[in-house]
Structure 1
Amino acid sequence: MGESSNAPSKRLAVLYAYNGSLFQGLERSKGLKTIEGVLLSAIATIVGADDPTKRVSLVNISRASTTEAGEHAARQVLSLEVAASENAPMPTPESLAPLLPDGIKVFDIVQLNTSFSARRTCDTRTYEYLIPTYVLAPPPPETHYSYAPLSDTEFEELWPVNENLGPPGGLFKTIKRGMSIKRNKSQARSMSRAKSVNRKASRKDASGPPDDTVAPPKLERSMSSPSLPSPPPSPSSHPAEKKSGFRKFFETLTRGRSKTRNVEEEVPVTIARSKSRKGQAGGVQMTASGSAQSFSNDVSYSTSSPEKEDDFGFIATLRRSVSRKSTRRRDPEIASLRGSGEDAVEEEKPETAEPQYFDPLNFPPPTEEELSLTRQYRITEDQVKAMNHILAMYNGTHNWHNYIPGAKYEDSRCYMRIINIECSAPEVHFGMEWLRFKVQAKAFARYQVRKMMAMAIMVIRTNTPRSIVANSFGYAKIEIPEAPAMGLILDEPHYDTFNSDCERRSDPKGIHFDKYLPAVTEFRHHSLHDSVYRAELESMKFNEWARNLDAYSFLYTYYLNERGVIKPNTNYVTKAAIEQERAAAEAAKQGVADGLFVKEEAKA
């Protein structure tokens, strides 16, 4: 498949399906038996059949979505440009069938008249994933993350739902909203009081000489005595008002310490509000005795406290909160609030746990009786509810950096939108119960769907609170394993926009799988679904995957825990166990590759 000089190119779109368990991946790779390698070789053989001496060029190769080794596709699209002579024959599904193995099925080959890319032109992709329900069974008690399960009924008994309350997480918003309403009311009273005082002053100015009891305008006071603060109004001038929302909220935070204060040593503290947005000034003067008096036309800020004050008050509270922060980014202005000398607050260094090293748990091989009981497992109603709840959290736009290998939270490409995700009712095939998931999005990263399914499985089988799923979209980094590849199927790539453009141009050559739906359904059921069901019945790959997770359960306890929070990971595998696992993986990989090549040579 080299270059063909001065040869006209023809754009082709191949609509096909395949069973990935018989290959080592989708894309061409030297020395490996891949799906595209076999398919493109068959296409080149047909195109170059008229003149074997000339080389056929296949360029601009693109696929609707990439699948890894062991993954399948019920509907896949491959686009390419063929550079060959005008009289060169073009491939057809009938001509390709004898050259392709049983695991690849070509439905149609469309010769397009416009530019087309199977990847860029695709609107959305839909993936399907199959899991046996026995992987949701609780792990053995020897694992590091096993604890008593909590059903939905027990959850509601511990935390009953109150219809009068808002949704979870709205408490702080409710407090802020109440404080804002009280603050607006206080400002409105101060503004109306200031207007009434100004009206009285204007009437007296118009009727007679100025009255000394009325305060002069603020501008004149500041010009007459700029160095002296204006005296607050007397307590008898206005009746005492209710405390503002912020004052009440702040007193609840310091109520415990305020009870032990000595009344004789208390010093007045004055806190004044700034001007409101409408230009009016209003505030509250608070004394040490706890009384609150409103005043207007005062925009000063003053806080006074004696030297060597006890550890209470607004400034002391601020110092304590600042001292709890990390010292990685020190602000000079914040550092000045901490004081110096005897009154300085010492930094609280975070406690770091020492790393711990574990060997993987050694579980005995399951007996035939145990495997038979495992195959007979049936999902519970609480597990169905939990699964639907997790799928609902997957919907929408999130930062999927924990589900993409090597991704970082700051990378904007990690924000992806899940358009739809759903789960079928439990189905029994060959004596085992299965669940089928379908998830649709504009684009998926490699291993993302398998990590999503693995996260849902681990949360349910370990009884971890489902809040960990929402926490996984945050900044903290966690390592999520990948679910087995044999259960993932590319169900359908969607080209609605391209097909609409073709209809507008009266071009019948669009990308449609509808007219081949019977063939697609037959291949999906017999070559994919039944193949997965039979393979799992014989090999129990999901059981092996779950046992491997249980053996290394100490690696996941920092987020699979009773609280559903992400803690620093301090558990590691011993070096000897790592070397042993690496050698076993290399041996297994080489054995699979040798087996594939032996089968290929035998066929030849």
Structure 2
Amino acid sequence: MTSNKREADAPAAAPREGTPSKRPRIDDGASVAPVPAVKDISDASVATGQAGEAPSSPFNPKEADSPSVRGKKAGGGRGGGRGGGRGGKGGKGGGKPDSRSGGSRNAEAAANKAKKDGLKEGDGGAAGKNAGGSASGAGGDDKSDRLPKRKVAVLIGYNGIGYKGSQINPSQATIEGEVFKAFVAAGAVSEDNSTSPQKVSLARAARTDAGVHAAMNVLTLKLILQPASKKPDTSIEEHINSFLPPGVRIWKTLRVQGSFDPRRGCDQRHYQYTLPTHVFLGPKSGTPMSDMLERVRAETSSTAASSTTAEASPVIAASKAFWSSRPADCAFTDDIQAKKAWRMPQEVLDQAKSFIAAYEGSHNYYNFTVGKDFRDRSCQRVMRKLELSEPFVVNDTEYISVSFLGQSFMLHQIRKMIGLFVLAVRSATPPSLVPETFGPSRIHIPKAPGLGLLLLEPQYIEYNKRVGEANAKLDELLSAGRIDDKAHKDQIRDAIDPTQLGLMDKIEEFKREQVYKRMWDVEEKDLVFAKWLQYLDMYSGPDFEYLNPKGVIPASATYKKGENPEMNRRVDGEQTRAPGEADEEQDAAGGDDE
């Protein structure tokens, strides 16, 4: 198949008409082709969920750090007085009920407590002097002289190239390790707490694999928001960023409700995976993968009609046309240069869209992670929306992006979903294979390179709703003169929403310069995707015999109980690593997030 070289001046992906005519071209100075927008689902649908899905984070009003709860903590006994137990001196047990509207009285109590706490926390305040005096302990400053910490959500972005995942690991270079060092250097974490992130209650919304990126991830911990080394006219974000490399950024630090948990409170996560379209070309004739596909097609095609249908598949026809124009003895690097000039036909793109849509819904994804059994309920995950972008061109190579919106993801889940997606489309395997993978038959699915995976953002729909309701009550109290400006400001919380916070321009620029540009440069130089497929195509074995025209999983491709799909079949009593499983160290083994 021959095709003309096509480029477009505008970076946005234009609608396709008929043939793959013009693709938008993105070079160093241009912006990234947008991925199809995935609209947030309604609050009601998040709250109620879908059939078969586990609840994300049910709201318990008793645990919420609302003004009413704070008031109870700030106040005293049940009788309403400051000191009061039942009928005690501080309050009258069984007194008249408060006739004021819900939360108002307790919010005022919280405001009064905030005023008193402010005196205790101020530098050189009377409370501090009385409590601690002027003497310092042998180990350093007295506790009364320490700067106050606050529980905050830290919104961060990072390029994962060169890091062994996101979660902190003392023996490895990780994103959280890099950020925590910056907190300490900036004085946002004290020297006493610098030896262990656990001392400041570090937690995260999602853990990412080695080499995986994030436009926005969320950490929570207790930070000193006014460190001594910070200049008065410098924000805490700018101050911390001065200790970080350009590929890791702090977007915002937000005071959060005391009960906030970044992982359990997350309603859904939005990921994107970008890959070159040439990976959908079928394997080169003469490779073990090509021989296996031809054999299983012959075995599963019981009639001439089904055989003709398989041979007439758009991707098979496009692959034959491509490889017929190449010398059989052509070197790998020469083949790759020719692949970069290939453009995905509309018919192949349509097949790809049909296959990726088959993942949507609530399913058992145990085949798409490691160390899980079919009966493990934690493998039931909800994929709310998957979309495929229009192709776009970068440095003469065509790419597409897959957008994933799901409740939560298991370790390696997205990379394995992409792995099966690529293998199935390039072999003309129908989407009916996808439901088969959710059944009890254990198969080996290779995970795609981490290079193309980007966490766009975790989304907090229910938390933001609660924050809005609590803020509205505080606004009412302020308007009524029942709390002052200082108490109002101290208790107001921001929604965790990059659009509302005005961060999108910064994040988009970071994605262009620090994620996409570096991602494409690495692929151009190291041929990550081409080498991954080359390794799979040279594998000889029955693992991938589920790539057949019927979309069924034969017994020959399954693993028995006790066998590890991440390892090859036993040969002479030994197991070796499975095809496509690179020798990379895993972050957060057994984690709940990609």
* Mapping of residues 343-362 of structure 1, within 5 Å: none
* Mapping of residues 576-587 of structure 1, within 5 Å: none
Give, in whole Å, the separation in 2 of the partners of 1:487 and 1:5.
Answer: 47
* Mapping of residues 147-186 of structure 1, within 5 Å: 147=294
Partner of residue 82, structure 2? none
Please state if 1:511 is matched with 2:508: no
Q: Which of 242, 252, 277 lines up with 1:98 in the alignment?
A: 242
Partner of residue 210, structure 2? 69
Deviation of 1:502 after TM superposition, in Å, equals: 1.3
Partner of residue 522, structure 1? 509
Change (3 A) 1:440 1:55: closer
Partner of residue 163, structure 2? 23
Change (3 A) 1:565 1:96: same
Give, in whole Å, the separation in 2 of the partners of 1:123 and 1:116.
Answer: 13
Q: Which of 420, 430, 447 lines up with 1:482 in the alignment?
A: 447
Is 1:127–1:438's contact at 8 Å kept on the other side of the alignment?
Answer: yes
The residue identity in structure 1 corresponding to 2:446 is P
Change (3 A) 1:437 1:40: same
Q: Determine what percentage of the aligned residue pairs are the same residue.
A: 26
The residue identity in structure 2 corresponding to 1:131 is L
Give, in whole Å, the separation in 2 of the partners of 1:509 and 1:62.
Answer: 19
The residue identity in structure 2 corresponding to 1:64 is A
Is 2:213–2:515's contact at 8 Å kept on the other side of the alignment?
Answer: yes
Change (3 A) 1:422 1:589: closer
Is 2:203–2:220's contact at 8 Å kept on the other side of the alignment?
Answer: yes
* Mapping of residues 201-600 of structure 1, within 5 Å: 366-506=331-471, 507-514=492-499, 515-569=502-556
Q: Which of 134, 137, 146 lines up with 2:293 in the alignment?
A: 146
Change (3 A) 1:111 1:367: same
Change (3 A) 1:42 1:374: same
Give, in whole Å, the separation in 1 of the partners of 2:243 and 2:210.
Answer: 22
Give, in whole Å, the separation in 2 of the partners of 1:469 and 1:522.
Answer: 36
Deviation of 1:427 after TM superposition, in Å, equals: 0.7
3-state SS of paired residue (2:271): strand
Give, in whole Å, the separation in 2 of the partners of 1:108 and 1:535.
Answer: 29
Unaligned 5+ segments in structure 1 are 160-362, 591-604
CA offset digits 1:103-157 (Å, max 9, x no partner)? 101111113353322111111100000010011001122224333799xxx8798
3-state SS of paired residue (2:551): coil
Change (3 A) 1:140 1:458: same
Deviation of 1:375 after TM superposition, in Å, equals: 0.9
Partner of residue 304, structure 1? none
Give, in whole Å, the separation in 2 of the partners of 1:127 and 1:3.
Answer: 45
Deviation of 1:52 after TM superposition, in Å, equals: 5.8
Q: How many residue pairs get matched?
A: 381
Change (3 A) 1:564 1:537: same
CA offset digits 1:462-492 (Å, max 9, x no partner)? 2223322221111111110100000000011
Change (3 A) 1:563 1:55: closer
3-state SS of paired residue (1:21): coil
Q: TM-score with structure 2 length normalisation?
A: 0.58
Give, in whole Å, the separation in 2 of the partners of 1:574 and 1:410.
Answer: 25
Deviating more after overlay: 460-469 vs 527-536: 460-469
Change (3 A) 1:368 1:410: closer
Give, in whole Å, the separation in 1 of the partners of 2:212 and 2:141.
Answer: 32
Deviation of 1:392 after TM superposition, in Å, equals: 1.8
Is 1:42–1:100's contact at 8 Å kept on the other side of the alignment?
Answer: yes
CA offset digits 1:442-465 (Å, max 9, x no partner)? 110011011111111001112223
Please state if 1:127 is matched with 2:271: yes
Give, in whole Å, the separation in 1 of the partners of 2:227 and 2:443.
Answer: 56
CA offset digits 1:85-104 (Å, max 9, x no partner)? 99796981111122101210
Is 2:383–2:406's contact at 8 Å kept on the other side of the alignment?
Answer: yes
Give, in whole Å, the separation in 1 of the partners of 2:160 and 2:574.
Answer: 29
3-state SS of paired residue (2:442): coil
Partner of residue 182, structure 2? 42
Give, in whole Å, the separation in 2 of the partners of 1:365 and 1:156.
Answer: 30
CA RMSD in angstroms, aligned pairs only: 3.7
Change (3 A) 1:436 1:84: closer
Give, in whole Å, the separation in 2 of the partners of 1:577 and 1:380.
Answer: 46
Give, in whole Å, the separation in 2 of the partners of 1:434 and 1:3.
Answer: 57
Deviation of 1:580 after TM superposition, in Å, equals: 8.8
Give, in whole Å, the separation in 2 of the partners of 1:546 and 1:4.
Answer: 60
The residue identity in structure 1 corresponding to 2:468 is E
Is 2:152–2:222's contact at 8 Å kept on the other side of the alignment?
Answer: yes
Is 1:402–1:473's contact at 8 Å kept on the other side of the alignment?
Answer: yes
Deviation of 1:510 after TM superposition, in Å, equals: 2.3
Give, in whole Å, the separation in 1 of the partners of 2:393 and 2:342.
Answer: 11
3-state SS of paired residue (1:569): helix
Is 1:145–1:561's contact at 8 Å kept on the other side of the alignment?
Answer: no
Is 2:188–2:226's contact at 8 Å kept on the other side of the alignment?
Answer: no
Change (3 A) 1:83 1:367: closer
Is 2:268–2:460's contact at 8 Å kept on the other side of the alignment?
Answer: yes
Unaligned 5+ segments in structure 2 are 1-139, 311-327, 472-491, 559-567, 586-594
Partner of residue 136, structure 1? 280
Change (3 A) 1:530 1:89: closer
Decide which structure has the larger Cα Rg and report it: 1
Please state if 1:80 is matched with 2:221: yes
Give, in whole Å, the separation in 2 of the partners of 1:449 and 1:365.
Answer: 33
Is 1:63–1:78's contact at 8 Å kept on the other side of the alignment?
Answer: yes
Deviation of 1:64 after TM superposition, in Å, equals: 1.2
Q: Which of 252, 267, 282 lines up with 1:108 in the alignment?
A: 252
Give, in whole Å, the separation in 2 of the partners of 1:557 and 1:54.
Answer: 50
The residue identity in structure 1 corresponding to 2:461 is D
CA offset digits 1:175-210 (Å, max 9, x no partner)? xxxxxxxxxxxxxxxxxxxxxxxxxxxxxxxxxxxx
3-state SS of paired residue (2:242): helix
Give, in whole Å, the separation in 1 of the partners of 2:572 and 2:414.
Answer: 32
The residue identity in structure 2 corresponding to 1:44 is V
The residue identity in structure 1 corresponding to 2:266 is C
Deviation of 1:21 after TM superposition, in Å, equals: 0.5
Deviation of 1:43 after TM superposition, in Å, equals: 0.7
Is 1:558–1:568's contact at 8 Å kept on the other side of the alignment?
Answer: no
The residue identity in structure 1 corresponding to 2:220 is S
Give, in whole Å, the separation in 1 of the partners of 2:221 and 2:191.
Answer: 21
Give, in whole Å, the separation in 1 of the partners of 2:173 and 2:443.
Answer: 34
Change (3 A) 1:469 1:495: same
The residue identity in structure 2 corresponding to 1:75 is M
Deviation of 1:557 after TM superposition, in Å, equals: 3.3
